[in-house]
């Protein structure tokens, strides 16, 4: 009973074959051979356009997409409004600084701007209050 296992049956001696060295050096090959190939049975939708995918989506996904679209429109609107506001302020500031550069003295500049509510006029009023 040299070649017997615990149940008393004769066991085959282990034999090295060509696949054994491959399994030792490339264990992924041994695993790949043991698993059957996976064959997908799902069918893809025919319309893969953004609108077609939106229409085929679940209602929750559609609600999220509508919310993202609204948030995007609001964001771009705020960006455009702030850009226009900054450009107008720059233009006003350039014109005011050009007028300020033409003044010979601080009192003359204060007379030019008078009661103006511009940034440069407020700056001049603060400068005169300090003196």
Instruction: Report domain extents, the chain.
Output: 50-130
Q: With 0-12 CB in 10 A as exposed, 13-18 as middle and 19+ as buried, what is 45?
A: exposed
pTM of the model: 0.52
Q: 26-57 pLDDT, tens per residue?
A: 655 555 556 666 676 667 667 888 999 999 89
Tokens of 80: 């455009």
State the alpha helices, DSSP H only, in the chain.
19-25, 27-34, 50-56, 59-102, 106-113, 119-130
Q: 5-33 pLDDT, tens per residue?
A: 556 665 555 555 555 555 556 655 555 55
Average pLDDT, the chain: 79
Q: What is the pLDDT of residue 20?
A: 54
């Amino acid at each position: 009973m040299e070649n017997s296992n615990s149940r008393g049956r004769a066991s085959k001696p282990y034999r090295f074959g060509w696949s054994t060295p491959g399994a030792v050096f490339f264990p992924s090959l041994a695993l790949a051979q043991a698993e059957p190939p996976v064959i997908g049975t799902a069918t893809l939708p025919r319309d893969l356009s953004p609108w077609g995918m939106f229409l085929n989506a679940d209602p929750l996904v559609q609600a999220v997409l509508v919310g993202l679209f609204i948030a995007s429109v609001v964001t771009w609107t705020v960006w455009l409004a702030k850009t226009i506001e900054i450009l107008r302020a720059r233009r006003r500031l350039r014109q005011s600084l050009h007028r300020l550069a033409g003044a010979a003295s601080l009192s003359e500049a204060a007379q030019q701007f008078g009661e103006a509510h511009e940034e440069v006029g407020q700056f001049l009023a603060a400068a005169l209050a300090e003196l």
